[in-house]
Structure 1
């Protein structure tokens, strides 16, 4: 190799190698510190863009999950009211049956009638209170409710099931005045009870469908998050091993540069007598 006092090729090469090692070492330390192998668009524009889009999709699903959970709660409230109403109808039927007994005295008959009308009025209270977030699937004031189903704004629609007196073919005047009326009321209450259970069955089916879709959305979001992680997350075990290797390489580079810098001293020694 040509020796020169103006340039030191060996030192220049050693310095270039050391700078390259330092750059790679800084990048590796950055990946370990952030946990990301792609932290910005300059690291890998295509991967970064893809990860951002998937991350946005995952974030959008939070709104979908919130909406579906409101739907869940709305149905649960309606189902709870429905359970109460079927219990009330069952008791009303029992009162009507008892009042159909012609051997009852007037006081007993009137007591049964009073119980019957009290139970009837409780149905109205149950439907009036069957609201979540100000809306109800049981009071007959709406035909359906729609909740977000996906990030594109699609809807999951639930049909209302009116459990008020009108929805059960009853009225605020439903009652009986005689044992004969009470006997006829038994069939009316049986029909009302059947109507209520059918409507609760429909709500239950809607609830199952909504629960299934909510579970799917949760799994979809988990998959998107995992996909983002696969795209941008660093393999910390691999990066740690690489860090140790680069640190060793850096030390060797410093030594190589030091040795190369001693070359001019060799030239000077040639001029010593």
Structure 2
């Protein structure tokens, strides 16, 4: 049989314990609602927090991978753009060279054709010199090879080889160099063949650059999807179900009110004892 005592109020002690537990649960729920996370720190769940933190590290590292791939793709695309310009200029130069093979040309016409030819040749040199992105030029002599990061650990790269389209090396050894001209019918005839070789060399180089750009773009798309999947996985581990927490909040607030009322009733038990002595 319970003992009635003014020194020890067991009912109040139990009510206070339950109220403290309810307040503690309420604080946890309010924290989850405020932060949107069910695991906001290591003390909430050390194992889950550690896993999530490792995955966040991987996701953040993938930002550097995406930047590297984007930078590499831009460098290759600039080289492709310049290469296409060079190819168009070579086509125009071939037209001039072919016209200069005509033995019936007078001197003035031949000089005019040669001047046009050399102007186009010089434009090739300018296109190569300006085909630079972020300090890298892939089509000049001894051009830069693109090496973009492929994973978050930095242990793998995607490489795109440089393509030497410089006039100093005769556009791949075709013979179309910095001194190319069509000053005579014989030189013009030889230059037509050289230009055919140069056009084929540029086309081959553009094919290689295009394949490289496509590889970088495809991997960039994959890395973006991978990062999204990792972020979603982290969310599954640490994010709170706000609908569930909202319902829990309502229940705990009601429970808190009942706990306060129960404690108040328990505290009144000593007052009941006073009536025995009246």
Is residue 163 from structure 1 mapped to residue 171 from structure 2 by the alignment?
no
In structure 2, the residue corresponding to 1:260 is in which secondary structure? helix
2:181 alignment counterpart: 175
1:226 alignment counterpart: 232
How far apart, CA to CA, are the structure 1 residues paired with 2:234 and 2:62?
15
- Name which of structure 1's ranges 41-50 and 258-267 shifts more when overlaid on structure 2: 258-267
How far apart, CA to CA, are the structure 1 residues paired with 2:215 and 2:264?
73
How far apart, CA to CA, are the structure 2 residues paired with 1:159 and 1:184?
31
How far apart, CA to CA, are the structure 1 residues paired with 2:143 and 2:252?
68
The two structures have a TM-score, normalised by structure 2, of 0.94
How far apart, CA to CA, are the structure 2 residues paired with 1:152 and 1:11?
59
**Which runs of no fewer than 5 residues in structure 2 stay unpaired?**
none
After TM superposition, the structure 1 = structure 2 runs for residues 76-225 of structure 1, keeping only pairs within 5 Å, are: 76-142=77-143, 144-153=145-154, 154-165=156-167, 166=169, 167-168=171-172, 169=174, 170-225=176-231
2:63 alignment counterpart: 62
How far apart, CA to CA, are the structure 1 residues paired with 2:123 and 2:135?
20
In structure 1, the residue corresponding to 2:148 is in which secondary structure? strand
Q: State the Cα deviation string for residues 190-241 of structure 1 (Å, max 9, x = none).
A: 1111110111011000000010111111111111111111111111111111
How far apart, CA to CA, are the structure 2 residues paired with 1:194 and 1:72?
24
The two structures have a TM-score, normalised by structure 1, of 0.96
Instruction: Please tell me the root mean square deviation across aligned C-alpha atoms, in Å.
Output: 1.2
In structure 1, the residue corresponding to 2:151 is in which secondary structure? coil
How far apart, CA to CA, are the structure 1 residues paired with 2:60 and 2:147?
21
How far apart, CA to CA, are the structure 1 residues paired with 2:235 and 2:183?
73
In structure 2, the residue corresponding to 1:111 is in which secondary structure? helix
Counting matched residue pairs gives: 272
Query: Structure 1: which 4+ aligned runs deviate by more than 4 Å?
Result: none
Deviation of the 1:2 alpha carbon? 2.4
Deviation of the 1:181 alpha carbon? 2.4
Q: State the Cα deviation string for residues 240-271 of structure 1 (Å, max 9, x = none).
A: 11101100000011111111111111111122
Q: State the Cα deviation string for residues 164-199 of structure 1 (Å, max 9, x = none).
A: 122332211211222232123222111111110111
Contact in 2 for aligned 1:140/1:160 (Cα 8 Å): no
After TM superposition, the structure 1 = structure 2 runs for residues 1-16 of structure 1, keeping only pairs within 5 Å, are: 1-16=2-17
In structure 1, the residue corresponding to 2:164 is in which secondary structure? coil
Is residue 237 from structure 1 mapped to residue 238 from structure 2 by the alignment?
no
Contact in 1 for aligned 2:143/2:163 (Cα 8 Å): no
